[in-house]
């Protein structure tokens, strides 16, 4: 990857959790194999692992994402949607991983079904990018104000969730949250 380029893995199988992790880290760190190893560590005695698809195609749960981030000395902080995104201390957040409803497609045919989908958002060269693996290319969101609008829109459906990707010490001291913000 050249300097100035945005790293963006595209969707393959049901590996959106892996793509979201790599996209938020801006490099290929995790593979299906590393995620499967994490699943085995999380549930070593299980014949059918509860942290991934029974078909072996991915569909990893939040526990795999959290363990993967911990292996990089990072943490995932579950965002409480009752708060406004204006109380985020963005300088302490390395990126965002969102879990949103997504349409199911078979080729060019869109089915009337919805599944869960992980996507990443992060800051690259002073701009925030939507790094959804289902997009053909990264989409520039803009600066902090545009990011807050984007996140608010993404979180508006009741079923959408957000993880903040932060350093472990930031999780521990809670500095990702700006309690002085009057818009809490």
Catalytic residues: 16, 117
DSSP tag of 88: B
| CA 151 to chain CA centroid, nearest Å | 12
**In whole angstroms, what is the distance from residue 63 CA to residue 181 CA?**
31
Residue 133 is classified by DSSP as: T
- CA distances in angstroms from 97 to 40, 46, 131, 168, 175, listed in the order given: 23, 27, 10, 16, 18
Q: What angle do CA 104, 109, 114 make, to 5 degrees?
A: 15
């Amino acid at each position: 990857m050249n300097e100035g380029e945005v790293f963006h893995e595209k969707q393959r199988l049901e590996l959106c959790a892996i793509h979201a992790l790599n996209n938020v880290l801006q490099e290929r760190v995790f593979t299906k194999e590393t995620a499967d190893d994490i699943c085995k560590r999380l549930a070593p005695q299980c014949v059918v692992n509860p942290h991934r698809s029974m078909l072996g195609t991915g569909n990893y749960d939040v526990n795999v994402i959290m363990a993967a981030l911990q292996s990089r000395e990072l943490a995932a902080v579950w965002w409480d949607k009752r708060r406004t995104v204006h109380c985020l201390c963005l300088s302490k957040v390395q990126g965002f991983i969102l879990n949103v409803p997504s349409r199911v497609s078979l080729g060019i045919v869109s089915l009337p079904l919805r599944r869960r989908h992980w996507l990443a958002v992060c800051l690259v060269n002073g701009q925030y990018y939507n790094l959804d693996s289902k997009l053909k290319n990264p989409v520039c969101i803009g600066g902090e104000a545009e990011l807050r609008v984007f996140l608010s829109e993404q979180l508006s459906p009741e079923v959408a969730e957000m993880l903040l990707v932060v350093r472990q010490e930031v999780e521990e001291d809670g500095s990702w949250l700006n309690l002085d913000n009057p818009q809490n």
